[in-house]
Structure 1
Amino acid sequence: MKKIMFSLLALCSLFSAAYSQENDEIKRPALGIHFFGNDFQTPQRIKASSLSSVLKDNQWGKFSDMNFGFAANYMKGVTRKLDFSTTLGVSFLDYPLEGKMASGDDAALLEWDAMVHAKMLTDKYWVVPYISAGLGASKWKGYYGAIMPVGLGLQVSFFDEAFLMVNSQYRMKITNTTSNHFYHSIGFAGNIGKPRAPKVIPPPPPPVDIDKDDDTVVDSLDACPDIPGLVALNGCPDQDGDGIADKDDKCPTVPGIARYQGCPIPDGDGDGVNDEEDKCPTVAGVARYQGCPIPDRDNDGVNDEEDRCPDLAGPAENGGCPLLEASKFNASAVQFVTGSSNLTAAARKELDKAARILNEQYPQLKVEIAGHTDNTGKAEMNQTLSVKRAESVKTYLVKKGVAEERLSTAGFGPDQPIADNETAAGRTKNRRVEFKVSQ
């Protein structure tokens, strides 16, 4: 017991020494009076079961279970967020000592504590939560004991002169002459003594106007005092004349804009369309597509501007359109009776395939039927024959259900040979019908 009392006295001495520290935001000495209630029932219930059971079953001590009393309190700031507090309280009760039967006789319980309040905020704020811890002593009849209080509190300031203090503590026993209990208090405290005189800070001496770089902006106002600059830019230079001082300009020799820190609007893909207007800023494109590449809807490698069939994939050599030959149609098998535009039986069989392909597989395609001849005979006669042969193919396809508006014809006579007309094999190849598809 003597050791505990000595520790309490040492703690008080420590805080008394700390009071000599002067600080305008440290709490001034204050006296308070408090109304409190001691709750011995709840700790006993927790010990008998558990904290969770007490909370679950709502066995927390009621107002009627408490023993009430009054306390006087002294407070003083140690630092901006640390206050020292000492409280002496008195209440009348039959103190529940462990191992001692209740006598039914109430007697005065004196409890004294010395505590530290660790505040979350300074006293400049209206509401200040804090946590507290310390040591205390008690006396009930002939029993002396020691306790260790810890708790939470709330301080409400009134014009920095008075405080409403709300506090809840758990007072743990240190000696067998005390009992664990909750301590709940509410009270007021007011500052005592003379208010602190406000600290007067003398004004600084007037500055001496100096302009080391001779740019007519004095150094006290010059953001670049060692480099001549512009008045409009607080004395800083601007090499590229973009209105952004070189010290803030990431591209000081190239005119730019403020949102890019003095640099031009970037063009990440180098396509000549700046990123702010480029819908495809990471892929090079063209201006008419807002910086995106020319589209290729069917993904056949032929862009839509050059693709005769932009919605149907086909090879580049066929203008981006599908090849009828890819569907097992053999255009070279479309032949005619010699010297006429009459289709052979094999040609009609092959054109039946073409009709099925155009009606079922590619109903959206349009076809230009081009007739060609070799150079045998007069050119004028061959030109007429090539046109008739193209018309003969068109007539047959229309007969097989291909819409006439999808078909067009042209005759080129001997003017577009694909083989040597000096040989029989070459002339055979030149006597042909070509199918050029488009959408």
Structure 2
Amino acid sequence: MKQLNKLAVALIMLFAFTFSTQAQNEDNRWSIFLGVNAVDFYPTGNGMAPDYLMSSENFLEDFFNVGDHWNAVASMTSLNVGYYVGQDLSVRGGFNVNRISKIGKTKPESKLTYVALDGDLLYSFNRLLNSGRFDPYLGAGVGYYWLDSEGAATFNSSLGLNIQLTEKLFFTLETSYKQAFDGGRLDLFQHTAGIKFAFGGKDTDGDGVFDDKDKCPEVPGLEEFEGCPDSDGDGMPDAEDSCPEVAGLPEFNGCPDTDGDGVTDAEDKCPKIAGLAKYDGCPDTDGDGVPDNLDECKDQAGPKENKGCPWPDSDGDGVPDKDDLCPEVAGTSADKGCPEVTKEVQDELNEFAKVINFQSGKTYITDYSKNILDTKVIPILNKYPNANFVIEGHTDSTGSKKTNQRISDERAAAVKEYLQTNGVAKERLTSKGYGPDKPIASNKTENGRKENRRVEINLVK
């Protein structure tokens, strides 16, 4: 029965009160309360020690019996600080002191010192009921109190009323029921009365919007834009307007788009001519991927690397000069603009190569052969700078095959080295010796063996 009565009190305190007022809110987030308190153990129906025990039958009995049961002193005994967190909710920390001479109908041998620290969450009904100067509220929280050296943790339920005296000054009445967590400790009622001062609202720029809600607290603005101005009158507050001095469109964050191409004037490199967003608002008349403002040939397609103009092709072979290894001679794209090495050219090379002679068993190129290389072979190779060639060395069958293989390797390498030394790119030439394996004449006659001792210059396909 006793616990049910206590639960009933808590429910009554949470739901029974239905009046409201303007008090602590967004404009006055902080508050300080100074007042007095009275502590009453009797209506709770329990006690702290055997001498103080009371029956649960007297729960809430003589709730207003001030003279017989209330403990109070004639001085300021309550102090709390509150902060409004929003949605009609506030948090509060409180400090209370008192001198206890009555615990129910029992008087202790000497007065006890009462000290309490509390933390509460308060809900205001002012905004909900809009009841003018009266602000009822409910609270719940936890605390701890001491009677001399004995202490107890409590769950607190509060019912209070703020009465507005001025814009920031209130007279406050409150009753709290503090139920001890430890069943062996005393529950109590604490009644407080005093003055609460609310503060914290500030309007620096005087535009009627308090600084805590003003996104532009130092510049006068409009309430509809949370205190920010709209200098250009385009319906976009300056704080959100990317072009606050020029009227624009909401879809462009307040910036204009004169040519209507979807690119704002501030970002449009051609603001008076409709263009494409990918070209910063400029058109591409010839469709070559180079916008007109960067295209030196607006009506003729060309690559970006040549400022929108076609690459020159001096020999007209379809390979632009920049990629043409033979820009003054028509060639093929497969040979990077150079002419193709035909069978006739290949045969001509090898006719000259046949007269490149070596003394028997030697790898030294004769002066006569050097002259042939300089005047006949090298000019042909340079005419086809994109073609690669292999220098092949061959011998007759005289001597051992091992020796002939070495000589053919060395003769081919000697010709390759001479050509490279005299201007043919190194990467275009390779050499290989075949010894006596590829004769073109009979090795049984002197003339046949002479023909077999040769060098060939063949195209690498």
Report the TM-score range of the alignment, normalised by the length of the smaller protein: 0.3 to 0.5
TM-score (norm: length of structure 1): 0.36
